[in-house]
Chains A and B, each alone.
Chain A
Amino acid sequence: MKSSKHKKKDLLLDIQNISIEGFSDEIWHPIIKGVNLQLYRGEVLGLIGESGAGKSTLGLAAMGFVRTGCRFTSGSINFNGQDLTKLSDKKKQQLWGTKLSYVAQSAAAAFNPAHKLINQTIESSLSHKLETKEILLKDAVQLYKEMQLPNPDEIGERYPHQVSGGQLQRTMTAMAMSSKPDLIIFDEPTTALDVTTQVNVLATIRSIVKEHQTAAIYITHDLAVVAQMADRIQVLRYGDTIEVAKTSQMLKSPKEEYTKSLWAVRSIKKKEQKSKEIILRIENISASYGSGPKVLQDININFPTGRTVAIVGESGSGKSTTARTITGLLPPTQGKVIFQDRTLPMKLSDRSKEDLRKIQMIYQSPDTSMNPRHTVREIIGRPLSFYHGINKEKNTDKVLELLDMIELDESFVDRLPEELSGGQKQRICIARALAAEPDLIICDEVTSALDQIVQEGILKLLLRLQHELKISYIFITHDIATVKAIADEVVVMHQGLVVEQGSKKDIFNPPHPEYTKLLLSSVPEMDPTWLNKVLEK
């Protein structure tokens, strides 16, 4: 960790009272409201906040860049003695890719699919004529080595689609380092990665930044991640600074209520309960998409009645595919789905309305799982009329009752999805599932797209509903904290296989199979020394 006494001449970036507005719905809205930010040479500043807090906008502003449809309204951004808000585009272009670099959230989207990695890595240094091509190529390979990429000599010859997400993210960091910049902006660089991949990327980013004494702004919504990376943390909310402090101090004794509430979800701990009755049993299920490889291989899982089974695993582990075979959306190539002691037909179209009613689904993204032109009344009313024959005229009472269950009042009845916040949308999706009066609800990553505090609300709601209505849940997630919060039983999946299943207590306490151990140890913890400890092991 850096010493707290910075000399004035070491001040690299000094943002004073910056305000940024964005244009939408025919008016200018404030996005950043007079924020100050200081960064010293070689220092890493963590910028943390929920979606819409203005983290990315502020991060880009540190480079003097605003996205199309946004503008600076006041304040100054002093980088190395130059006010970036007053520089011409030409002048800023000379800084970008030389003194200032950017690492974007999704490496898969931020690399141009049409060019080789090596050409994209050295492109900025080459176009700014920092070095000859030969030297840059050599440097790039050296950086690939430092980023611990496999085959550093050859990987540059590949196209972006030919390497994995974690490798791409590391390549992008190498690209940002290529010009030996004074400042790198990391915009959620590991958010799109799996936890086991994230650990390595975090470690390489941290070591390369230290090695080259580069200053960095590290943007993330994940406190545990920022605790590993940053010397200081600045918390943003609604475009305003809530709190700035050194990392250790911020973690030990956060001053503001809001900062404290960012820990919230980690405080829910459901006591696990057992149930002898089995509502759903899947036996020897295998499945594949089209004629492709097997996505599920011989899966057996028991789901107890009135309890929550969390299926946990990384992307591509077959969690969602399991849900699709249970609902019949993807008929398995072999195996049985036994629901309430009766084997269900494989195909959705062969199942009776009653079968369909009893198993409902809630999806990850409430934005795309609701018809944007239907009002809340229509969205909730549809299963009412489909399953229970309650027609439009008579359904108002029932809709209001359901809204009450999900803790929304009657003013929501005639709203469209776009008039709801992310958490409210997900509540409507829950109400829609409840309207069918199901026995089993499959929740597929229902909290992943939501902010911490909103997540907490949704999880509490789901727990309360389970308690009141005795519904069984299958809870698909990649987030271990969520599992701890809500599950009774846990199933760990990896590459289409069930690695381990059992009660929450058994799964989270050793001994673990190899993969579970890796998965559990990869989940970042608040302790700033966590990453060091993991790497030591």
Chain B
Amino acid sequence: MSNLHPIISTLLKRIGLGIISLFFVTLIIFSSVNLLPGDFVESVLGQTRTEESVKIFRKELGLDKPYHIRYVNWLTSAIQGDLGSTFSGRNATYANQPQQSTARSVSSLLKPRLFNTFFLAAMTAIIAIPLSLLLGITAALYRNSIYDRTVNASALTTISMPEFFVAYILIIYLASINQFFPSLSNVTSSTPFFERIYLSVLPALTLTLVTVAHMMRMTRASIINLLSSPYIEMARLKGISKTQVIIKHALPNAWAPIANIIAFNLAYLIVGVVVVEVVFVYPGVGQLMVDSVIKRDIPVVQGCALVFAVTYILLNLIADVISIITNPRLLYPK
């Protein structure tokens, strides 16, 4: 490792750490999903179950094997990209005839949902990130002015309201009183691109309002934190205008914390938006996961959780990489 550029060795270390944390997350996912109360087989077979049918059904689903074997099987196939089959495609009628099972693979169920979720997250990010950077930088530039206070107060207001409430308010004003956008965002895989954007406007707007406050305040704080540095005073005394001082001298040194908070919010947009999905009947991964928990469809729950974990770790890894490459001390060693 010694003759590698320090950036590369740091990156390799981070990636290694990411893989290790992912491994521990799979352990946690598997054990906690298995701690869920209730049993899929018993709930599907219902009152009419016999000991015999329960046994056969269990065997077919692989639930008769001990925990650690099931974990290893699940992990090895997950590494190969196979998340297993859903439980819920099957029912009691087919319990005795496994070959006629209608079970779908978890990935085929997850894929369109995941696409929807990423689409909504991307749409929100495209609005929210530039907006919050712009607001954060201008608020830092005109700090303690009326503009700064207004931006801060409105950001705090939106972040203080529960997201479903923000969603309903938007529905009232933009879908009900003024019928600009639909209040239902039930996109399907065949929805054309622009139609899809049109349908997703309200959920994207809701999520924007919820995330901008965070990112904007962090941007403002990171920049203001740097404004007392001697090199900022030096730049001012070199006759550089206030805007240039912030953009050229403060911002390049503020990327690390800003990148972290953006990654945090992006992760939230993918893993934490189930409430907004429910309000707008948007078919995302969040809804799928909640539905599967209710149905005790263990493979789907595990699959969703795994996707969430990968997203989280990947985004944080990217944020780390950004903080590393924006630090000239690491990029250009002595």
CB pair A104 B239 closer than 8 Å = no
Interchain CB contact under 8 A, B332 and A159: yes
Q: Is A9 an interface position by the 8 A CB rule?
A: no
Q: In B209-242, which residues have CB < 8 Å from any A CB?
A: 228-231, 233-241
Nearest Cβ on chain A to B244's Cβ, whole angstroms: 7
A93 to B236 CA separation, bound complex (whole angstroms): 8
303-334 of chain B: CB within 8 A of chain A: 326, 328-329, 332, 334
Is A124 a contact partner of B238 (Cβ separation < 8 A)?
yes
Residues of A within 8 A of B253 (CB): 112-114
Picked from B233, B241, B332, the residue with its CB within 8 Å of the CB of A93 is B241
Within 8 A of A (CB), among B228-277: 228-231, 233-241, 244, 248-249, 252-253
Name which residue of chain A comes closest to B328, CB basis: A159
Given A113-B329, A123-B240: A106 in contact with B230 (beta carbons within 8 A): yes
Q: Are A111 and B328 in contact (CB under 8 A)?
A: no
Are A124 and B240 also in contact (CB < 8 A) when A112-B249, A112-B253, A159-B328 are? yes
In-complex Cβ contact of A114 among B244, B252, B334 (8 A)? B252
Secondary structure dominating the interface of B: helix
**What's the least CB distance linking A150 to chain B, in Å?**
14
Q: With contacts A104-B230, A112-B249 known, is A65 near B332, CB below 8 A?
A: no
Write the chain A residue with the least CB distance to B237: A102
Closest chain-A Cβ to B264's Cβ sits at a distance in Å of 23
The answer to whether B231 and A111 have CB atoms under 8 Å apart is yes
CB nearest neighbor in B for A161: B329
Contact check, A115 vs B239: say whether CB atoms are below 8 A apart.
Answer: no
A95-125 CB contacts (< 8 Å) to partner B: 95-98, 101-102, 104, 106, 109-115, 123-124
User: In the bound complex, how far is the Cα of B236 from the Cα of A92, in angstroms?
Assistant: 10
B230 near A113 with CB under 8 A, answer: no
A: interface residue count bin: 20 to 34
How far apart sit A192 and B241, CA to CA, in the bound complex (Å)?
29
Chain A, Cβ-Cβ closest to B326: A114
Q: A114-B328, A162-B334 are in contact. Are A93 and B230 (CB under 8 A)?
A: no
Residues of A close to B237: CB separation below 8 A:
60, 63, 65, 96-97, 101-102
Cβ of A97 and Cβ of B238 under 8 Å apart? yes
Known: A113-B329, A127-B244, A161-B329. A96 touches B238 (CB 8 A): yes
Assembly CA distance A128 to B241 (angstroms): 10
A297 to chain B, nearest CB (A): 22
Number of residue pairs spanning A and B whose beta carbons lie under 8 angstroms apart: 80
A67 interface contact, C-beta 8 A:
yes
State whether A112 and B231 are in contact (beta carbons under 8 Å apart), knowing that A159-B332, A162-B334 are contacts in the complex: yes
Residues of B with C-beta under 8 A to A448? none
Return chain A residues, CB-CB under 8 Å to B234: 102, 104, 110-112
> Are B239 and A109 touching (Cβ within 8 A)?
no
Answer whether A97 and B239 are a contact pair too, CB < 8 Å, given A127-B244, A159-B332, A161-B334.
yes
Q: Interface size (B, Cβ < 8 Å)?
A: 23
Q: Note all chain A residues with C-beta closer than 8 A to B252.
A: 112, 114-115
In the bound complex, residues from chain B placing their C-beta under 8 Å from that of A97 are: 237-240
Interface string of A138-162 (1 = CB under 8 A from B): 0000000000000000000011011
In whole angstroms, what is the CA distance A39 to B237 when docked? 20
When distances are taken between beta carbons in the complex, the residues of chain B under 8 Å from A124 are 238-240
Give the Cβ gap from B226 to chain A, nearest Cβ, in Å.
10
Provide the bound-state CA to CA distance between A161 and B249, in Å.
Answer: 16
Contacts of A162 in B (CB 8 A): 332, 334
Tell which of A67, A95, A175 touches B233, judged by Cβ atoms closer than 8 Å: A67
| Chain A proximity of B149: nearest CB distance (Å) | 18
* Cβ of B313 to closest chain A Cβ, rounded Å: 28
Contact for A109 among B229, B240, B241, B249, CB less than 8 A:
B229
Q: Shortest Cβ distance from A88 into chain B, in angstroms?
A: 13
Task: Give CA–CA (A161, B244) in the complex, Å.
Answer: 23
Within 8 A of A (CB), among B175-218: none
- Output the nearest chain A residue to B251 by Cβ-Cβ distance: A114
Please measure, in the bound complex, the distance between the C-alpha atom of A111 and the C-alpha atom of B231, giving whole angstroms. Answer: 5
The answer to whether the Cβ of A94 comes within 8 Å of any Cβ in the partner chain is yes
CB distance from B258 to the nearest CB of A (A): 14
Q: State which of B228, B230, B239, B332 has its C-beta within 8 Å of the C-beta of A127.
A: B239
Looking across the interface, which residue of chain A has its beta carbon closest to that of B244? A127
Contacts of A114 in B (CB 8 A): 249, 252-253, 326, 328
Q: Complex formed: what's the CA distance from A96 to B245 in Å?
A: 14
Residues of B near A158 (CB, < 8 A) are 332
- Please indicate the chain B residues that have their CB under 8 angstroms from the CB of A159 in the complex: 328-329, 332
B248: chain A residues at CB < 8 Å are: 115
Q: How far is the CB of A79 from chain B (nearest CB, A)?
A: 14
Shortest C-beta distance, B1 to chain A (Å), equals: 13
A521 to chain B, nearest CB (A): 29
Let me know if B328 and A161 touch, CB within 8 A: yes
- Which residues of chain A come closer than 8 Å to B233, judged between CB atoms? 67, 104, 110
Q: Give the CA-CA distance A96 to B235 in the complex, in Å.
A: 10
Which B residues are in CB contact (< 8 Å) with A113?
231, 253, 328-329
**B231 adjacent to A109 (CB under 8 Å):** yes
Q: How far is the CB of B176 from chain A (nearest CB, A)?
A: 49
Complex contact B229–A65 (CB within 8 A): no
Min CB distance B255 to A, Å, is: 9
Q: Of residues B239, B240, B241, B244, which shows the largest number of chain A Cβ atoms within 10 Å of its Cβ?
A: B239
User: In whole angstroms, what is the CA distance A102 to B230 when docked?
Assistant: 12
Known contacts: A162-B332, A162-B334. The answer to whether A110 contacts B240 by CB under 8 A is no
CA distance A336 to B253 in the complex (A): 46
Beta-carbon nearest neighbor of B249 in chain A: A112
The answer to whether B230 and A98 touch across the interface, beta carbons within 8 angstroms, is no
C-alpha spacing A319/B243, complex, angstroms? 45
Chain B residue, CB-CB nearest to A96: B239
Nearest CB of A to B232, in Å: 8
Bound-complex Cα distance A289 to B244 (A): 41
CA distance A127 to B245 in the complex (A): 12
A198 to B: closest C-beta gap in Å: 20
Cα(A60)–Cα(B248), bound, Å: 23
Rounded to whole Å, the gap between the CB of B253 and the closest CB of chain A is: 5
For B239, give its contact among A60, A68, A93, A111 (CB under 8 Å): A93
Write out the residue numbers on chain A whose beta carbons fall within 8 Å of the beta carbon of B239: 92-98, 124, 127-128
Q: Which of A92, A114, A162 has the most CB of B within 10 A?
A: A114
Q: How many Å from the CB of A28 to the closest CB on chain B?
A: 18
**Distance, CA A65 to CA B233, complexed state (A):** 10
Cα–Cα distance between A13 and B9 once the two chains are bound (Å): 55
State A392–B331 Cα separation when bound (angstroms). 54
With most chain A CB atoms within 10 A of its CB, the pick from B230, B234, B244 is B234
A92-B239, A109-B231 known; 19 other A-B pairs, CB under 8 Å? A95-B239, A96-B236, A101-B238, A102-B237, A109-B229, A110-B230, A110-B233, A112-B231, A113-B231, A114-B249, A114-B252, A114-B328, A123-B238, A124-B238, A127-B240, A158-B332, A159-B329, A159-B332, A161-B334
23 contacts between A and B (CB under 8 A): A63-B237, A67-B233, A93-B240, A97-B237, A104-B230, A109-B229, A109-B230, A109-B231, A110-B234, A112-B234, A113-B231, A115-B248, A123-B238, A127-B238, A127-B240, A128-B239, A158-B332, A159-B328, A161-B329, A161-B332, A162-B332, A162-B334, A175-B238
Interface residues of A (CB under 8 A from B): 60, 63, 65, 67-68, 92-98, 101-102, 104, 106, 109-115, 123-124, 127-128, 158-159, 161-162, 175
User: Top 10 A-B pairs ranked by shortest CB distance?
Assistant: A97-B239, A96-B239, A124-B238, A114-B252, A97-B238, A109-B230, A102-B237, A110-B234, A112-B231, A93-B239
